[in-house]
Amino acid sequence: MSRAVLSLGSNLGDRFGHLRGAVEGFRDALVAASPVYETAPWGGVEQPDFLNAVLIVEDPAVDHRGWLRRGQELEQAAGRVREVRWGPRTLDVDVVTVDGVTSDDPELLLPHPGTPERATVLIPWLDVEPDAVLPGHGRVADLLAALPDGETATVRPRPDLVLR
C-alpha cells in the first residue's frame, strides 16, 4: 500500500475551484481532505493569499513518482505556469511524504523540503492526521509548536469552504 501526504495550494483564478479539482483528481485514492485555510504567500514574492489544504491518499499501485506525476497532471489541467520560483500559481500539488520514503532526487525531494517550517502544511495535516510524523523530523505537532507565533498567525481557517 502506498500512502502519501499531499499539500495543495492555489492563489490565482478560482482558488477554491482549483483545490476542488485536485480533490476530484485524487478521488479514487482519497482517504482524507483537510479543512481549507487562507494563508499569506511564502517565499518572498509579492502575490495574493493562498488557499491551502492537505490530502491523505492511498493506492497500492502508485509509488512516490506516481503521486508526483498525478499531481503535475492536475497542475497542468489547472493551467499552472512555472515562471517564478515560489510565485503565484493556479494550483500547486506538493508530495510531502510517501510511506517514509526518502529521496534526494532533485525532481522529487522527500520528505518535501521546508515542510518542518511551513505552518501552511503542518496545520491542515494535523487536522486529518493528529499523530502525524514527518520522517527524519519527528512529530508534526512538535514541529508546529516550535514555529514562531508569526508563522501560525498567517494561517486562517475558512470554514465556509469544504472540500469533501
pLDDT of 15-52, one tens digit each? Answer: 999 999 999 999 999 999 999 999 988 777 788 999 99
- Give residue 152's identity as a one-letter amino acid code: T
pLDDT at 13 over 90: yes
Residues comprising the chain, all counted: 164
Residue 30: its pLDDT value, please?
A: 98
The C-alpha cell of 74 is what? 492536475
- Across-strand partners of 30? 57
DSSP secondary structure, 95-133, as one string:
EEEETT--EEETTEEESPTTGGG-HHHHHHHHHH-TT-E
45-90 pLDDT tens trace: 788 999 999 999 999 999 999 999 999 999 999 987 767 666 688 9
Q: What is the pTM of this model?
A: 0.94
